[in-house]
Amino acid sequence: MAMTYATLTAEKTEDGAIRKWINYRHLDVEAALEDAQALISQTLRVREMQAAATVSITSGSETAALPDRYLSSLSMRDVTNNADLEHKEWSELENLRDYSSGVISTGKPCYYSVFGELFQFDTKADAAITARVLFYQSPELLSEANPTNFLTTRYPHLMRAACLAAGYDQMRNTEAYTIAMQRMAAFVASINTQAEIDDHRGQFMRWVG
């Protein structure tokens, strides 16, 4: 049976339903499903989560908005000036900022970080800049309008483990929750390792080709 939003959120009597998996018909299944996807997004990093977006840095600003469903950056390039921006930890970036009378100096940004739910730069932009960021984004949440995503089609075993963990957590069943979390963590580790192998194999084939 295909894993979909409808099957996952179905009543306890239906095959493939989270309520049936944990044998509890009073489960807040929509909340459990959302929690399960959040648990996966914390640690899973696969090609389906890789994305690119345009970042607009306005003149006189040291921040820019994050893309939708942003998780973490891979790289950023100032395409206006054809220059790479180097990622720094938030405390390092703060130390790189030059202040005059309490105001961040103006120039061409060279470094960036993420805090305060914004891209933060080492300097205020002296002119409007367009940048491109490569980043990991969380999967689009399952819903009636979005009945499947790559988690349900490619990694249903991982999705099931995460749903069990979220469901047992809601029931305060610590023992079952711990077992489900361990299974989920093992699946994530295996999937991430294979994703790294596939990525390195692809880079090698491009190099020899």
Please state the rounded mean pLDDT for residues 83-93.
96
Edge-to-edge, what's the strand order for the sheet holding 129-137? 50-57, 129-137, 70-78, 83-87, 111-115, 118-121, 63-65
Q: What is the pTM of this model?
A: 0.86
Pairwise pLDDT comparison (199 vs 67), residue with the higher score: 67
Beta partners for residue 100, in sequence order: 103
Please state the rounded mean pLDDT for residues 198-204.
54
- Give the DSSP per-residue string, 119-154: EEESSEESS-EEEEEEEEEPPPPP-SSS---HHHHH
Please state the rounded mean pLDDT for residues 31-60.
97
pLDDT of residue 100: 86
For the chain, how many residues are written? 209
Tell me the pairing of strands 111-115 and 70-78. Answer: unpaired
Tell me the pairing of strands 111-115 and 83-87. Answer: parallel
- 200 band by pLDDT with thresholds 50, 70 and 90: low
How confident is the model over 117-156, as pLDDT tens digits? 999 999 999 999 999 999 999 999 999 999 999 999 999 9
Q: Which amino acid is at 50?
A: Q
Please state the rounded mean pLDDT for residues 17-37.
97
Please state the rounded mean pLDDT for residues 19-29.
96
CA neighbor of 50 nearest in space, from 24, 31, 72, 23: 72
The rounded percent of the chain whose pLDDT value lies above 70 is 95
Task: Report the alpha-carbon distance of residue 76 to residue 130 in Å, rounded.
Answer: 10
Task: Report the alpha-carbon distance of residue 163 to residue 47 in Å, rounded.
Answer: 22
CB atoms within 10 A of CB 15: 9
pLDDT of residue 144: 97
pLDDT of residue 208: 40
Tell me the pairing of strands 63-65 and 111-115. Answer: unpaired
The rounded percent of the chain whose pLDDT value lies above 90 is 90
**How far is CA 165 from each of CA 36, 144, 155, 195, rounded to the nearest angstrom?**
7, 22, 16, 24
SS3 assignment, position 75: strand
pLDDT of residue 161: 98
pLDDT of residue 205: 39
Least confident range from 3-12, 31-40, 95-104, 141-150: namely 95-104
